[in-house]
A and B are shown apart, each in its own frame.
Chain A
Amino acid sequence: MNVSDSTPAMNNLMGSEADSQRTLYPYVTGTSVVGIKYKDGILLAADMGGSYGSTLRYKTVERLKSVGKHSIIGASGEISDFQEIMRNLDDLILYDNMWDDGNSFGPKEVHNYLTRMMYNRRNKFNPLWNSLVLGGVKNGQKYLGTVSMIGVHYEDNHVATGFGNHLARPLLRDEWHENLTFEEGVKLLEKCMRVLLYRDRSAVNKLQIAKITEEGVTISQPYALKTFWGFSAFQNPTAGAEGSW
């Protein structure tokens, strides 16, 4: 009824004050995370690189964290937004503990919370610029899911974020099967991480593997993968055509 009321609202929607508060682009980013279900639980793998644009600025960024007793989370995308997410998740777990009712949040609940958080931020045009992988075991039930920065979420036997979707998912679709042992699972993840190391420009050769089973969470120490560069075509690429490349 009051015409003047609508115009300030319209202005605020795309106004200059709103712009400075929105996330427009990511600054320090992590690259792919790969996760698989195996016989006893979930395995996640991520490297420890934080890129600042095209510079590999930070090489000891822990992108795999445990959430409560039953879940682990891996994040790719803006590192500061991941730290914000961790603050929210730690508060969530704390409040849940304070109830002291014998129940604790399992991976399904945490995944749902994350989905709501990401989707609501997206609806306000102020997203948390992350793609997350959430895995866990509770009461013998294994759970592995993913949430993207716009709130797309699903669960599957194997998930990946970022470049991992293009390079790791095809390998996992071929070679994943039910009841992988721990060694087979690690070998499969290392195979995926090695391809990512060769073909993703923002990957670093320093990775961690996180394991979660009914007993609890273990995040490995950082280690490096072996790479092979000894192809004969690499030694002398211009054999037979001097001057070309």
Chain B
Amino acid sequence: MSQISESMPPKGGFSFDLCKRNQMLVNKGLKQPSFLKTGTTIVGLVFQDGVILGADTRATEGPIVADKNCEKIHYMAPNIYCCGAGTAADTEAVTDMVSSQLKLHRYHTGRESRVVTALTLLKSHLFSYQGHVSAALVLGGVDVTGPHLHTIYPHGSTDTLPFATMGSGSLAAMAVFESKYREGLTRDEGVKLVAEAICSGIFNDLGSGSNVDVCVITKGKKEYLRNYLTPNPRTYVSEKGYTFSKKTEVLHTKITPLKELVDVIDAGDAMEE
């Protein structure tokens, strides 16, 4: 009987061979890996006229820095922005999805989006995936009801806070906020405090680094300050210069500008065929 099953070709799909072994290891006391707070410091705070969001710019792949200058502050609506920590694909996908849902909703209602709308859409999506969509978000914006700041956890719970931090550098940033935050900050004080908190995360947490991005949202206006601070510049410049070594002889130089090879058909109907 067993010989017949062995000769069957392997079917596609998920192979459950290791599940039994994993269960056996758990029974023996192996602790399964818990949720990773992947390298990030993201913060938000409410000041007198609105909301300020901040983020570092390092994307890590285990111990390697995959992207030195990525963007963690995502656009949701003209008056709402969202910082994302956790799996980069999850934060991108979930914020893009809710951003388009908000746009459709704006067309449908004819009104400016509200922060609680984004909040509810995000939290119900994340809850329905029971924490498997690993996105920890700091959502902030200003709408007709005033400035709002929320944190959203991967399992779908939310908090409404005057100041918030998420990510592996959250403790370092929270230490700065807890000691220096007060109500009614001005714009400049708020931006300075956010930059300080992100710098605290950058310099004290290994998972965060590179530059500081800041986004200031007030009633009717937003300022996206990309690379507001660059405290980690590349300082080493080789004195020898970056040229070919060992007398590489240049025999022939031909420069072909690529743009001229492309014919641009003016005002063609792009999706005709």
Contacts and interface: CB of A to CB of B under 8 A. Distances in A.
A73 interface: no
B179 A191 contact: yes
Interface string B112-156: 001110011000000000000000000000000110110000000
B160 interface: yes
A174 B203 CA distance: 10
B273 to A, nearest CB: 48
Contacts of A244: 116, 119-120, 158, 160
Contact of B178 (A163, A174, A198): A198
A174 B200 contact: yes
B147 to A, nearest CB: 10
Size band of the interface chain A makes with B:
20 to 34
A25 interface: no
Contacts of B149: 233
A163 to B, nearest CB: 8
B178 A199 contact: yes
Contact of A170 (B158, B160, B204): B204
Contacts of B171: 163, 166-167, 170, 199
Interface residues of B, number: 27
A231 B183 contact: yes
A167 B162 contact: no
A121 B153 CA distance: 41
A238 interface: yes
Contacts of A199: 171, 174-175, 178
- The interface residues of chain B, by DSSP majority, are classed as helix
B176 interface: yes
Nearest to A236: B160
B178 A240 contact: no
Contacts of A222: none
Contact of A233 (B161, B175, B176, B204): B161
Contact of B174 (A167, A192, A232, A238): A167
B203 A173 contact: yes
Contacts of A171: 175-176, 179, 200
A191 B175 CA distance: 9
B217 interface: no
A234 B162 CA distance: 8
A142 B196 CA distance: 30
Contact of A168 (B120, B146, B175, B196): B175
A195 B119 contact: no
A232 B183 contact: yes
A171 B173 CA distance: 9
B200 A195 contact: no
B193 interface: no
A3 interface: no
B46 interface: yes
A198 B171 CA distance: 12
Given A173-B204, A195-B178, A232 B162 contact: yes
Given A171-B179, A191-B179, A240 B148 contact: yes
B83 to A, nearest CB: 18
24 contacts: A166-B171, A166-B172, A166-B175, A167-B171, A167-B172, A168-B175, A171-B176, A174-B196, A174-B200, A194-B178, A195-B175, A199-B171, A199-B178, A231-B162, A231-B183, A233-B46, A237-B160, A239-B146, A240-B114, A240-B115, A240-B146, A241-B119, A244-B116, A244-B160
Given A169-B204, A195-B174, 10 more contacts: A166-B171, A166-B175, A174-B176, A233-B162, A239-B145, A240-B114, A240-B146, A241-B119, A241-B160, A244-B119
- Per CB-CB distance, the 4 closest pairs between chain A and chain B, nearest first, are A241-B116, A166-B171, A240-B145, A170-B172
Interface of B: 46, 114-116, 119-120, 145-146, 148-149, 158-162, 171-172, 174-176, 178-179, 183, 196, 200, 203-204
Interface of A: 163, 166-171, 173-174, 191-192, 194-195, 198-199, 231-234, 237-241, 244-245
